[in-house]
Amino acid sequence: MFTKFVKEHKKSIHQLFNLMWETTEDVRKQLAEQGYSVGPLVYGIENYILIDGKFEPAHYPTPEFGFPYGVVGYTLDGLYFVMAIEVSSISAEFLKEVIKKFPQIQIYGGKDFTHNFYPSPSQEEAILQDIKSSGEETIQLEVIISEPWDESKKASVQLISAIEELVRITRSHKIKLVNPLQSPRYKVKNPQLL
């Protein structure tokens, strides 16, 4: 089954993986040009993708990089931005603004990423209570540009716009972020090259 598939689609698979890496590097360069400190492009590990409604581990590397506000990467689910924030700093007003601006955002646990707090029919107060009672110290906000395959430039512009808006919202609400650049994995190795 796989032999025939690879023979028939080898060129397309190769182009897709290269597109994922090139697009992620393009977003990285654009953020650096806007004055953000960005870490190196690294192999994403321990990522999961959604297949038939279930999270499946990706045991193959995908591109990603960290910068002070989160992690940008690309999986078979799409081009994404994940921001980790401290639960102690969030409010219902913050959640309301985030959900209004990003109705498709994913809000899930920092330790238990399978616990998705939104989307749900709950109001912000109920979502906040669910988050606070979960025992999570951090939660993650994820914006995914799905199906960017044929329009990667457009997808990267959309993602950068989403990043800028989410950063603006977190700043205005004085949200405490978890800075990925504190992790050795995402540290800037040679800052003068940025």
**Domain harbouring 169, CATH code:** 3.30.930.10
Residue type at position 3: T
Share of the chain above pLDDT 70, in %: 95
Does the residue 52 lie in any domain?
Answer: yes
Residue listed under structure tokens 């977003």: 27
Q: Does 46 score more than 90 pLDDT? A: no
Does the residue 194 lie in any domain?
Answer: no
| Total number of domains in the chain | 1
φ/ψ (deg, to 5) at 106: -105, 135
Domain span at residue 26 reads 2-189
Note the pLDDT tens digit of each residue in 1-37. Answer: 889 999 999 999 999 999 999 999 999 999 999 999 9
Does the residue 110 lie in any domain?
Answer: yes
Note the pLDDT tens digit of each residue in 67-108. Answer: 999 999 999 999 999 999 999 999 999 999 999 999 889 999
Note the pLDDT tens digit of each residue in 102-156. Answer: 988 999 999 988 888 887 667 888 899 999 999 999 999 999 998 778 888 899 9
Give, to the nearest 10 degrees, the angle between helix 152-172 and helix 2-33: 50
CA-CA distance, 134 to 118, in Å (whole number)? Answer: 13
Q: What does the block give as tokens for 130?
A: 């669910």
